[in-house]
Structure 1
Amino acid sequence: MQVTETLNDGLKRGYAIKVTADELDAKVNEKLTEAQPEIEMKGFRKGKVPMALLKKQFGERLLGEAMQEAVDGAMNKHFQDSGDRPAMQPQVKMTNEDWKEGDDVDVEMSYEKLPEIPEVDLSDLKIEKLVAKASEEDVDEALKNLAETAQDFLDRKKGTKSKDGDQVVIDFVGKVDGEAFEGGAAEDYPLTLGSNSFIPGFEEQLVGVKEGDEKAVEVKFPEEYGAENLAGKDAVFDVTVKAVKKPVAAEINDALAEKFGAEDLEALKGQIRERLEAEYQGAARQVMKRQVLDALDKKVSFDLPPSLVEAEAKQIAHQIYHEEHPEDQGHDHGEIEPTDEHNKLAERRVRLGLLLAELGQKAEVQVTDAEMTQAIMNQARQYPGQERAFFDFVRQNQQMQQQMRAPIFEDKVIDTVVEQADVTEKEVTKEELQKAVEALDEE
């Protein structure tokens, strides 16, 4: 077998591989010899079928297998000997298309090799870690917002007309064709106007009513309504308004804390403070991660495989197109040509991706099964009722697993970089942290 270099340009490599007819014939004979003891054929005892007959019967099929194995073996040996790692799947094609049995096999192989990643001294990376504490004002603001979500309703002054957002306490009886229907009546029912908890058109007709009013609310049940006997039917609800109440934020006290599962108000404040500071830490990590990536990007320079950059640029262009055209849900928009900006961003991503992969390999960073399971469970929560189906889908889909593993791996590599870097902490306010996060999107 002969392997001859035909191209050596930057990271591009090309090789001509020749597998001789004698080598193929020897490999076919080897396969037949290995299989002979188990082969039975009419007129011969098991294992006694002559080689010539076996070759006539199975030789053509085995020749194809032998050819593929020989080429694969040559490629694997080349990568092992050369140390090259192809950036993408090598392109392999047979050049003597008029090949017939007894001829040598000529194959061309071309690929782009991954570059040699230079050593990086991480100890001189200067990283600033922002630290924000939850102030009393932050806690009080969050507590106030929490109280508004747990709003109460107080009676409005007698004779006051209801507004959107008010609560009306009503008795009602629903009728279709003059006949009351099952499940269409209630007494002292508290209905918040604008909540859209009743069928369309119902709540809007109760805006402007006052205590003591009686009103016939005319509606039409939706065509897709759950009860078939009511779907698409016109109905009239005889409504009596017993009270009109205005929304008020719940009082900030121990009773409010108990509503949210805390022992008392101070315990609730402590929970809020922890939650806020966890959010601040997450935001600060985003800022620090960008610092690390920017510093690494400036620190290293090496040749990039053009195919990886091109593929990444196309993906960026495609993603940005759909962000700018949310109405276009399909993918029949034709070729989207990457801009210079897309290409520049692609180069950065490929460079950092290769560098982080190298750093992670040297640091023996691994994504554990437990970390993957947790990531899958977190994403599965976005599909209520279908968690198990999503979990099974990911487990059976290698590409999906890789997409979920990549950001976990990257974060763990970032952690190893930060551990070796020169990190200083800087205490900032919530507003300063917010500005730093907003600046990430502007870059």
Structure 2
Amino acid sequence: MCENRPANDCIAKTYGVKPIWSIIVKVEIKDKEELTKELNIEIPAETVNSRIDLKLKEVQKTTELKGFRKGKAPMDMIKKLYGEKVKFEAAEDILKDTYPQAVQEHKIRVASYPNVTAMDFTDEGGLTYTATVEVFPEIDKVEIEGLELTEETIEVKDEEVDQVVEMMQKNFSEVREVERPVGATDIVVLDIDKLEDKGNVIPTDKFENSEVDLSNKMTIKEFSEALPGMKKGETKEITVNYADDYPDKQFAGAELKYKCTVKQVKERLLDELNDGFAKKTGQGETMLELRMNIRENVKNQKEEEKNRAKKTQVIEHIVSKNEIPIPNSLVENYLENVVKDFKEQYKDQKVDEEEIKKNYEPIGRSNIRWNMLMHKIAENEKITVQTEDVDALIQKFADNYKITKDQAKEHLRQSGNIADLRESLLEEKVIDFISGKAKIISADKK
């Protein structure tokens, strides 16, 4: 049976022809531009003719011509009718077989698909072609010395717990519409028309049924100041000057004028903060237990933020210390995926592909360089991911989503994320290795 064999191997075995990869071909390798190699590959006539004969027999087997039963047409007729087509199909099969063989035998670390040119048949009946391909750079050693890591002492203040309790109180509150002027902590439903936008910051001109929560500290100051006192049906023009350090960089430093019409005014009916409220949240039987759980969660979040900050410092240090060349094809592929994501996210808007690529190219180059360096460090230091490491992470995934470990494993397998898990674990181990050699500086002393 041939179920688990390559198709050509099966055909070759059926007709008694040697598989193409068992034939030694002539390979000449030339270094072209940086990270570019040219492979000139020559396959002898014997091999080419065997491959053509193999395919002709396969065509003969499935062809039904007038006057002959299926599979019984003379080979001369098959060659006359299908010879040229079969010849070029055989050439394509030979290329698909011999290129990977040449790469493997000569240990070429390819970073791109090959650009195949000059494919031709020789006078003797052999086949030659040229494959140009980008390769990964050769990295001998990765410089990791000189890293200084700034770390903050993790502390959870009572005020931070209070903020989370306040947010939960809002989330569990009842919201009802009221017929009165807007209050300082109300939720206001607005129809918003954009009047002025000199920088064309946002392409949309109308925002209907937009909810503005005046109790939210993140609400734009101009809205918090202008909306209280307005009544349902009233309209007011509001000019917003976005700060230069506004979190959404798209708006940073911009000035926009809006016309706002009040459609609804809503108020919150907040629960009293007692043990009954704690039980309602499902995160504690008493307020004391709820606050303790919140404190632990905030601490865990800060630990994650600390680890992310450490990761950023490590990557920036390694990438800046080791400016290795990067295959352009990897950068181009990265940027194409970024553009694709933007188009899917903003389906109704025109996307400036060149601007996106320009903005994301430095990020892509840094990510690709880090990935290559990270794997080289792992190789040099013999850092590996064990089965038990993956199992522990899958168990954590299962616990988070309250499913069994087997269910988690199956979900990750079907979504193709097992490999991503291993890669994430390897990166985590490499970062821990580098961090272990760093000088730690307390942020409190800076």
Quote the Cα distance in structure 2 between the aligned partners of 1:356 and 1:37. Answer: 53
Quote the Cα distance in structure 1 between the aligned partners of 2:353 and 2:285. Answer: 60
Q: What does residue 351 of structure 1 align with? A: 369
Write out per-residue CA displacement over residues 22-53 of structure 1, whole angstroms, 9 at most, x where no aligned residue.
54223222444678788887777898765445
Once the 2 structures are TM-superposed, how far is the Cα of residue 85 of structure 1 from its aligned partner? 2.0
Say which of 72, 84, 87 aligns to 2:111: 87
Write out per-residue CA displacement over residues 333-371 of structure 1, whole angstroms, 9 at most, x where no aligned residue.
4644965x8654443222112223445676444896995
Give yes or no for contact 1:112–1:305 (8 Å, CA) kept in 2.
Answer: yes
Q: What does residue 288 of structure 1 align with? A: 310
Unpaired stretches in structure 1, ≥5 consecutive residues:
154-160, 168-191, 201-206, 210-216, 219-244, 379-390, 396-400, 437-443
Write out per-residue CA displacement over residues 242-276 of structure 1, whole angstroms, 9 at most, x where no aligned residue.
xxx98665432222212212211111112211221
Q: What does residue 256 of structure 1 align with? A: 277
Decide which structure has the larger Cα Rg and report it: 1
Q: What does residue 305 of structure 1 align with? A: 327
Report the 3-state secondary structure (helix = DSSP H, G, I; strand = E; otherwise coil) of the residue aligned with 2:318. Answer: helix
1:67 pairs with 2:91: yes
1:414 pairs with 2:427: yes
Cα gap change, 1:359 to 1:405, in 2 (>3 Å): farther
Counterpart amino acid of residue 147 in structure 1: Q
Report the 3-state secondary structure (helix = DSSP H, G, I; strand = E; otherwise coil) of the residue aligned with 1:9. Answer: coil
Give yes or no for contact 1:5–1:15 (8 Å, CA) kept in 2.
Answer: yes
Q: What does residue 36 of structure 2 align with? A: 12
Give yes or no for contact 1:18–1:105 (8 Å, CA) kept in 2.
Answer: yes
Give yes or no for contact 1:148–1:249 (8 Å, CA) kept in 2.
Answer: yes
Quote the Cα distance in structure 2 between the aligned partners of 1:77 and 1:127. Answer: 46
Give yes or no for contact 1:3–1:18 (8 Å, CA) kept in 2.
Answer: yes
User: How do 1:330-409 and structure 2 match up within 5 A?
Assistant: 330-331=350-351, 333=352, 335-336=354-355, 343-358=361-376, 363-365=383-385, 408-409=421-422
Counterpart amino acid of residue 284 in structure 1: K
Counterpart amino acid of residue 348 in structure 1: S
Cα gap change, 1:371 to 1:63, in 2 (>3 Å): farther
Once the 2 structures are TM-superposed, how far is the Cα of residue 63 of structure 1 from its aligned partner? 1.8
Give yes or no for contact 1:28–1:66 (8 Å, CA) kept in 2.
Answer: yes
Give yes or no for contact 2:170–2:268 (8 Å, CA) kept in 1.
Answer: no
- Length-normalised TM-score, structure 1: 0.56
Cα gap change, 1:428 to 1:267, in 2 (>3 Å): farther
Q: Which of 1 and 2 has higher RCO (CA within 8 Å, sep 6+)?
A: 1
Unpaired stretches in structure 2, ≥5 consecutive residues:
1-24, 191-208, 210-228, 234-265, 402-410
1:270 pairs with 2:292: yes
Give yes or no for contact 2:170–2:270 (8 Å, CA) kept in 1.
Answer: yes
Quote the Cα distance in structure 2 between the aligned partners of 1:42 and 1:247. Answer: 85
1:112 pairs with 2:125: no
User: How do 1:173-322 and structure 2 match up within 5 A?
Assistant: 194=188, 249-261=270-282, 262-312=284-334
Report the 3-state secondary structure (helix = DSSP H, G, I; strand = E; otherwise coil) of the residue aligned with 2:32. Answer: strand
Deviates more, 1:73-82 or 1:118-127: 118-127
Counterpart amino acid of residue 350 in structure 1: I
Report the 3-state secondary structure (helix = DSSP H, G, I; strand = E; otherwise coil) of the residue aligned with 1:93. Answer: strand
- Length-normalised TM-score, structure 2: 0.56
Cα gap change, 1:411 to 1:122, in 2 (>3 Å): farther
Cα gap change, 1:11 to 1:100, in 2 (>3 Å): closer
Quote the Cα distance in structure 1 between the aligned partners of 2:29 and 2:174. Answer: 80
Report the 3-state secondary structure (helix = DSSP H, G, I; strand = E; otherwise coil) of the residue aligned with 2:27. Answer: strand
Give yes or no for contact 2:148–2:441 (8 Å, CA) kept in 1.
Answer: no
Q: What does residue 222 of structure 1 align with? A: none
Once the 2 structures are TM-superposed, how far is the Cα of residue 307 of structure 1 from its aligned partner? 3.1
Report the 3-state secondary structure (helix = DSSP H, G, I; strand = E; otherwise coil) of the residue aligned with 1:92. Answer: strand
Give yes or no for contact 2:187–2:267 (8 Å, CA) kept in 1.
Answer: no
Once the 2 structures are TM-superposed, how far is the Cα of residue 141 of structure 1 from its aligned partner? 3.4
Cα gap change, 1:252 to 1:121, in 2 (>3 Å): same
User: How do 1:126-141 and structure 2 match up within 5 A?
Assistant: 127=149, 130-141=152-163
Give yes or no for contact 2:45–2:126 (8 Å, CA) kept in 1.
Answer: yes
Say which of 91, 94, 100 aligns to 1:76: 100
Q: What does residue 329 of structure 1 align with? A: 349
Report the 3-state secondary structure (helix = DSSP H, G, I; strand = E; otherwise coil) of the residue aligned with 1:14. Answer: strand
Quote the Cα distance in structure 2 between the aligned partners of 1:249 and 1:428. Answer: 41
Once the 2 structures are TM-superposed, how far is the Cα of residue 105 of structure 1 from its aligned partner? 4.0
Q: What does residue 180 of structure 1 align with? A: none
Report the 3-state secondary structure (helix = DSSP H, G, I; strand = E; otherwise coil) of the residue aligned with 1:17. Answer: strand
